[in-house]
Structure 1
Amino acid sequence: MSSVGVCNSINLKGSVSIIKEFFNYCINNILFQRGIYPSDSFTAVQNYGLTILMSKDERLKKYLQIIFDQMQTFLLQRKLHRVVMALIRMDTKETIERWEFRIDCDKENIDDEKKIDVDLKVIQTQIRDLIRQITASITYLPLIDNPVSFDILFFTDKDTQLPSADWQDSISHIIPNAEEVQLRSFNTKIHNLKASVAYKQNG
């Protein structure tokens, strides 16, 4: 007997929805794991077969919703190539941690409506393994013992039109002489996402 997976069809919009949902859970998870917000401002939810902590802070939720909605627009336009989440010491303005997510899209062969057969269970498993790895990273990442803020950057095509004056060019938050760890990836067959984290060693 051969094993058979659960096949589904997705198009560009469906792939973008998967990526947008991943980032919602992923960024909330990093904010919780790295102690950027108080632990009691998060609530536990279930997804990908995991318990993930999600912020209850209404201001943060509104801010992230704006970020994710614009991410969706750029992805549908096939103009977004990298998402970076930088953690920045508030006193020195020094970037101490940099989470990078590279997003490759087959622009030539994917149109808006073309559907591709995928095994959604496999994609969910890949996402679960990546989020687990991010959660486990606290075992080797340096302790954050100073107040930090975070910034989310989009790396897009040069001709990308910005949605409003609230969006502007930013520095890349590269960390000199950083330690870097390559993390897992997931692939929707339309988008391939590869993750890594770079961090400043204490001392």
Structure 2
Amino acid sequence: MELLTSLLFQRGLYAPEYFKMTKKYGLNMLVTTDPQIKNHMREILKQVEAWLMACKVEKLILAIKSKETMTVLERWQFDIQNTKDYNATPNLTSLPASFGFSQQQSSPSQNQNKENMSFYNNSGSSNLDPTTSASQPSSSTKQKSEKSEKEIQTEIQAILRQITASVTFLPMLDEKCTWTILCQTERDAEVPATWSDADPHLVHNAEQVKLRSFSTNLHKIEALVAYRLQDDL
């Protein structure tokens, strides 16, 4: 939650008075103080955590859109790979599914933005080789030592610093914007009724910057940001 709310501050989607400084992952981070935003984020991430623990989530995306035109201006994507084996059987033959889930909430004030959460599922086509998908991990994989909390925290610190620094090259968002959180899951993931359909929210003619990756003992996360240059707006 701290990462997402920090991005909302850094990209100027809410006024500074809606944030406070706190210590997290060994860094000073800005987090929201507004109850509506906090509760909304908590509800989103509670479901994301459930999907993570079930090894059902593939991507977490923060899309920033023009409030007037609903054009996607910026897209922060976090690809999530499972580093532990689990007993999921991917369906390699069915057509891609596309469905999702969203909840609208009013913003802290009439002058601020409206936020919503969305989910889209598009996992019908898979690059997994069916001849190798059932193979057992090698002994070297099994014996791989687990990361310490300090190692994980150091990697998280590095990507957070890079995300903060990226504000220097991203175009200014000089218009009123809204934001959407999307989560791409495996096709068979259980989805709450409170979420609703969404498209992938791609950026047209995007510039892309790949960010650092980090991994825990369960997942590897790779990040990138896609954005539109001012001349394309």
Q: Which bin holds the TM-score, normalised by the shorter protein?
A: 0.7 to 0.9
Distance in 2 of aligned mates of 1:51 and 1:107: 31
> Which TM-score applies when normalising by structure 1?
0.83
Match of 2:176 among 130, 137, 147: 147
Deviation per CA, 1:57-104: give whole Å up to 9, x if none: 110111000001000111111100100100011001000000000000
Match of 2:228 in 1: 200
Identity of aligned residues (%): 36
1:185 equivalenced with 2:213 (yes/no): yes
Q: Which has the larger radius of gyration?
A: 2
Distance in 1 of aligned mates of 2:77 and 2:174: 22
Match of 1:175 among 196, 203, 212: 203
Letter of the 1:143 counterpart: M
Q: Check conservation: 1:29, 1:53, Cα contact below 8 A.
A: yes
1:37 equivalenced with 2:14 (yes/no): yes
1:134 equivalenced with 2:111 (yes/no): no
SS in 2 for 1:150: strand
Letter of the 2:207 counterpart: E
Instruction: Report deviation, 1:169.
Output: 2.1
Distance in 2 of aligned mates of 1:50 and 1:190: 23
SS in 2 for 1:184: strand
Deviation per CA, 1:133-159: give whole Å up to 9, x if none: 111111000001101011000000112
Instruction: Report deviation, 1:189.
Output: 3.2
Match of 2:129 in 1: none
Instruction: Report deviation, 1:107.
Output: 5.0
SS in 2 for 1:117: coil
Match of 2:42 among 56, 65, 73: 65
SS in 1 for 2:183: strand
Instruction: Report deviation, 1:109.
Output: 5.7
Name stretches of at least 5 consecutive residues in structure 2 with no aligned partner.
Answer: 88-141
Richer in strand (by share): 1
Q: Which portions of structure 1, spanning 4 or more consecutive aligned residues, are displaced by more than 2 angstroms? A: 106-110
Letter of the 1:53 counterpart: L
Distance in 2 of aligned mates of 1:190 and 1:66: 22
Q: Check conservation: 1:84, 1:101, Cα contact below 8 A.
A: yes
Instruction: Report deviation, 1:199.
Output: 0.2
Residue-pair matches, total: 176
Distance in 2 of aligned mates of 1:117 and 1:195: 22
Distance in 1 of aligned mates of 2:53 and 2:148: 21
1:28 equivalenced with 2:28 (yes/no): no
Match of 1:55 among 25, 32, 46: 32
**Coordinate RMSD, CA, aligned:** 1.8
Letter of the 1:79 counterpart: K
Distance in 1 of aligned mates of 2:85 and 2:22: 38
Distance in 2 of aligned mates of 1:106 and 1:139: 33
Q: Check conservation: 2:84, 2:219, Cα contact below 8 A.
A: no
Instruction: Report deviation, 1:28.
Output: 1.0
Instruction: Report deviation, 1:162.
Output: 1.1
SS in 1 for 2:173: coil
